[in-house]
Each structure stands twice: as structure tokens, then as C-alpha cells.
Chains A and B, each alone.
Chain A
Amino acid sequence: MDTQSVVARIDRKHPGSILKFIKDANEIVAAAGSFPQLMKAVHEENFDMLVDIVGIDWTPRIPRFDLVYLLLSTADFTRLRVRLQTEEGQEVPTVSDIWHSANWGEREVYDLLGISFSGHPDLRRILTWKNFDGHPLRKDFPLQGKHFDKPFNPETIEDY
């Protein structure tokens, strides 16, 4: 599949939803305003598998986070990346109603980076536990946690 023509078609359908297209990396930089429409259009263009969602913390940049959606078309095995920039405290519209795999992917991003998704059916922590303090993959979170040098007490852990 020629990603260039796919991008041109989507741009005609939803003008302004694509800020930039980087040809070498097959990457779309998405505008925050019309993100759900863009993702629906990408899905209609046969990108039927959401391979993964990657969150990157670029602190102290504003907006702070990058979300990279890795997509794949199983018809002819073309890859596409969609990048969305988002700020701390800002909610990102969920895509779990388009690709089911986004359900857990978004939960992981929420857990490890603290980005909320609006409209997600079950937004809970997934890898860490219920009363975990902070979001470990943020750059200001220490590698060893906050109480590394103190004796560990399992009773402090609260689980779902």
C-alpha cells in the first residue's frame, strides 16, 4: 500500500487532521482536535491491527508527552505510525472502540505514564497495584521508587 496516497485521501476527507507526514518513517503527526476522526479514517484505510501504543515523556518540553500508535495492515503488511502530542492532565480520546487491542495498551500508558483516556471502558492500573504512588515511566520518577532503602512491608500493598 502506498502510504502517501492514503494520507492524501484522509487529508481530503478530514482537512486539518494531519499536521505533518514524514515519508521515511511512514509517520503521521496528528492534530489533537480531530484525532478520533483521523483514527477512524485510518482504520477504514485497512490498517486493521493496532500493534502497540508507546508513550514517551519528553519533560520539560511542552506539550510533555508523545503518544505513538503503531499500526499494521494485515492485507499487504504495511506499517504506519501515528504520533499525537499531549500535555499533562489533558485527556486523549480513546481508540479502544476501533481496535480492541487499544483497551490494554491505553491502560498500560495510563498506568506507567499517567495519561488519561476519555471514553475508555475500564481505565484502571494494570501493571502496578491499586495504591501505587506515581507513574514509573515518567522521567521524574526515581528508578528505585520512593522507599527503596526502608524495609518492605507487604501489608502496604493494596490490590484489585
Chain B
Amino acid sequence: MGIENKLTKFAEGSVLVTSLEKLINWGRSNSVWPCTFGLACCALEMIATSLSDFDISRFGSEVFRPSPRQSDLLIVAGTLTKKMSVMVKRIYDQMADPKWVIAMGSCASCGGVFQSYAVVQGVDQIIPVDVYIPGCPPRPETLLAGLMKIQEKIRTEKLDQRPDHTP
């Protein structure tokens, strides 16, 4: 590995100084574990993203957790219906802080083509959303771009300004 050589050349085995905030954010941003949770068509592209051709593990997010309690990221992949909204809210509430949400696809973002009696017009009506991804369904590259946006957001976060922070 090249990184060890570079590090020893750079620091000669001594210490690196950084702020705790940066270190924590660096760790968090490179191990965002998504929840295994698919609703509709977009879930298939989410599966494709996690498998061989697109390989989400390059971004440290290959560990899809079926249990919401072990996951950091909720990818709402697909149409959110009113009947399902109760469960999605519950899954989000069960996730431990810190947590982030991606609204994947136009259905999750705004209802998409399904402007009907049974569909919630955007998942942001029930839970807060960090990143919206357009497309019906979005390409895997678009999902990866959304994931990188989340990582960018995490790296610039101030720990005392997070919603779960209690002074």
C-alpha cells in the first residue's frame, strides 16, 4: 500500500494534529451504512448500485443493514404510499442518531408521475430529507453522486449544530 509510505515520509511516525470534530466527521462520512429498505422500482437500481458493476463499497457503504437500529442512512427508494408512510416514519424513528435520509427518485422526492389518492407527494412530508436524487429511476451513478453529497455534508458538519445535539 502506498498510503503507509506517504504517511511515514510525511510524519515520520509522529503525531498528526487535527480537530476532534474533523476526525469524527471523517470517520462517519466514510462508513455510512444504509438501511436495506426498498419500496419500488428504485430499489432495483439500489441493488444494482451495491453489486459488482457499480460497487458502492468504494464509498464505504456496502454494509446494508436490515435493522434500522444499526444503520445511519435511510435511502427511500421508490414510491411512498400513504399506507406505507406509517412504517417509514417508524423505521426513521428507530434509527439511532446521527442519521441521514436520501429521497431517491422522483416519487420519493415529489410524488413523481403518481399524483393520486394513495401516494404521499414527497417523503419530506413525513421525515426530514438531506439529499434529493432526480430520475425515474435514477441511474446507479446518480445514487453514488447523492451518497457523495451526503459525505460532503457530513464532513462540513459542526457537531454542536447537529439536530441530536443536547447542550
Contacts and interface: CB of A to CB of B under 8 A. Distances in A.
A and B touch in the complex (CB under 8 A): yes
Interface of A: 128-129, 136, 141-146, 148, 151-152, 154-155, 157, 159
A159 B116 contact: no
Interface in B66-95: 82-83, 85-86, 88-89
B86 A154 contact: yes
A144 B126 contact: no
B85 A145 contact: no
A154 B86 CA distance: 5
A157 B121 contact: no
B92 to A, nearest CB: 11
Interface of B: 82-83, 85-86, 88-89, 115-118, 120-121, 125-126
B85 A154 contact: yes
B86 A128 contact: no
B117 A157 contact: no
A58 B82 CA distance: 28
A141 B82 CA distance: 17
Q: A143, A144, A154 — which one has the most chain B CB atoms within 10 A of its CB?
A: A154
